[in-house]
Structure 1
Amino acid sequence: MSSKPSTSHDIAQGLSLAIHEHRIAPGTKLGEDELAEIYGVSRTVVRAALQSLSHIQLVEIRRNKGARVASPSLAEAHEVFEARELLEPRIARSAAARANATDIALLERHIRDEHAALDASDPGRALYLSGLFHNEIARIADQATIAGFVETLVARSSLIIALYWRHERALCEKHAHHALVRALADKDEAQAEALMKSHLVDLHSALDLRERNWRAGSLKDALTQ
């Protein structure tokens, strides 16, 4: 890096990018002292950065054990996407029957913000916004119990995407969300269901979900590239 960041936001952004680019392996220990030395800041600033990453489930913080890059199992990764493929197409069908102009405008804003984050090389925010898009569709469907399940699954899958993406398409194919919104706006229930199913299958297949031997390299080297 050409200059060291001085805020917790900058440090969180740097760590997030390193995780997404696989420069830091899942399970890597993120020691506060080491990060404070790398970035030239206090442990308090580092701790705030790690807390923000834990909120989006990229980092796990355990009492008396510190922080590590989160590492969902491959079995969990498959189960999460299989569950989404079962639930969300039906949710999309229900949303198509209920969506109003305000709902459509909100979804379109999510898409614009998501693409802006990708254009700004901020994949962590893009993942967050993509997840919100799917959660909003569940809200529009007005099925609170299922929406709660979807929200949990989306949170876990965002982390899985971050760790196992094979290429940027795994953050959500650029036009998939646009097509979904068009189907919702047209109240085309069958098309909304089919598009959501296809979208999630494509997203699942875009991940490299194979057993791999992650090598815990130098944290300093990974963050100063």
Structure 2
Amino acid sequence: MIQSSHSEAAPQADDRAMAIRDHLRDAIVEHRLVPGTKLSEAEVGKLFDVSRTVVRAALQSLTFEGLVRAERNRGAFVASPSPEEARQLFEARRQIETGIARTAAINGKQADFARFEACLATESRLIAERGPASRRASIRASGEFHLLLAEIAGNAIMQRFMEELIARSSLVIALYGRTGASSCGHNEHGDIVAALRDRDAERASALILQHIDHIEADLDLRAYAERPLRDALLL
């Protein structure tokens, strides 16, 4: 009987942890929980009426996604890339992605362009939708466009670099993007694909450089005023 009761309780705890994760993620992406905010296990547990074990599972999931950082003996905090870290991130992307675009223009095949079109169609659908879930999905889809570009270029080492850069960029964009344009200009993606189809390596490289400039320009890296956890979570 004890074992059966435990097996029933475990899925419920997992569901609660994922629900709390989603609440916290929405608050982070919507800027209600600002970078650097401490996420106290005890306070979050009290707000959601769950154990600290459940809260810890939710925070661990967000840490894996890069939205939360865990500090030994201090606890969990909303991740807070500094303005300098953000600038270095986008400078790295400029240097790497311009070369990737040139190579993709040479290596791209017809099947690859079909994958690009599918990616652009997904972006169009998400842009037309509203709400935090759609915004998160739009940022993710935009990142996938850049990862596809790296994959088509055919350099496995560069592709792994891009996976890290895009993951960190998505965090910065989710936290600091102002207008939604920073989740990547859909029209600019289409222009890049057109240059790739034309095998115009220099134009593709110039367009990706301009595109990254636009993403960075849409970021607001000023400090945010911290809000109480209850208010930020709208509880």
Give how far 1:116 is off: 4.0
Structure index of larger Rg: 2
Mapped to 1, the partners of 2:45 and 2:116 lie a distance apart of 39
Corresponding residue of 1:94? 103
Mapped to 2, the partners of 1:185 and 1:8 lie a distance apart of 45
Give how far 1:20 is off: 2.1
**SS at the partner of 1:60?**
strand
Aligned residues: 218
Mapped to 2, the partners of 1:101 and 1:55 lie a distance apart of 35
Corresponding residue of 2:6? none
Superposed CA deviations along residues 170-204 of structure 1, whole A, max 9, x for unmatched, are: 11123222222232233332221121111101111
**SS at the partner of 1:67?**
strand
Superposed CA deviations along residues 109-134 of structure 1, whole A, max 9, x for unmatched, are: 33333444452522333323322221
Mapped to 1, the partners of 2:125 and 2:60 lie a distance apart of 24
Letter in 1 for 2:74: K
| Residues 11 and 77 of structure 1: CA distance in aligned 2, closer, same or farther (over 3 Å) | same
Mapped to 1, the partners of 2:20 and 2:194 lie a distance apart of 38
Corresponding residue of 2:234? 224
Which runs of 5 or more residues in structure 2 are unaligned?
1-14
Superposed CA deviations along residues 69-92 of structure 1, whole A, max 9, x for unmatched, are: 001111111111112112212211
Q: Which has the higher helix share?
A: 2
| Residues 55 and 133 of structure 1: CA distance in aligned 2, closer, same or farther (over 3 Å) | farther
Mapped to 2, the partners of 1:117 and 1:82 lie a distance apart of 28
Corresponding residue of 1:50? 59
Mapped to 2, the partners of 1:178 and 1:10 lie a distance apart of 36
Corresponding residue of 2:192? 180
| Residues 99 and 116 of structure 1: CA distance in aligned 2, closer, same or farther (over 3 Å) | same
User: Among residues 69, 75, 90, which one is paired with 2:78 in the alignment?
Assistant: 69
Superposed CA deviations along residues 113-164 of structure 1, whole A, max 9, x for unmatched, are: 3444452522333323322221221121112333333222222222111221
Give how far 1:42 is off: 4.2
| Residues 139 and 50 of structure 1: CA distance in aligned 2, closer, same or farther (over 3 Å) | same
> Aligned pair 1:142/2:151, yes or no?
no
Mapped to 2, the partners of 1:22 and 1:208 lie a distance apart of 11
Q: TM-score, normalised by structure 1?
A: 0.85
RMSD: 2.3
Q: Which runs of 4+ in 1 moved over 6 A?
A: none
Letter in 2 for 1:75: E
Question: Where do residues 1-80 of structure 1 align in structure 2 (5 Å cutoff)?
Answer: 7-80=16-89
Letter in 2 for 1:168: G
Mapped to 1, the partners of 2:93 and 2:156 lie a distance apart of 16
Letter in 1 for 2:121: R
Question: Where do residues 186-201 of structure 1 align in structure 2 (5 Å cutoff)?
Answer: 186-201=198-213
| Residues 92 and 39 of structure 1: CA distance in aligned 2, closer, same or farther (over 3 Å) | same
Mapped to 2, the partners of 1:12 and 1:107 lie a distance apart of 31
| Residues 140 and 31 of structure 1: CA distance in aligned 2, closer, same or farther (over 3 Å) | same
Corresponding residue of 1:160? 172
Give how far 1:61 is off: 2.3
Corresponding residue of 1:3? none
Mapped to 1, the partners of 2:167 and 2:21 lie a distance apart of 18
Mapped to 2, the partners of 1:105 and 1:12 lie a distance apart of 35
Q: Is the 8 A contact 1:16 1:124 kept in 2?
A: no
Which runs of 5 or more residues in structure 1 are unaligned?
1-5
Q: Is the 8 A contact 1:56 1:128 kept in 2?
A: no
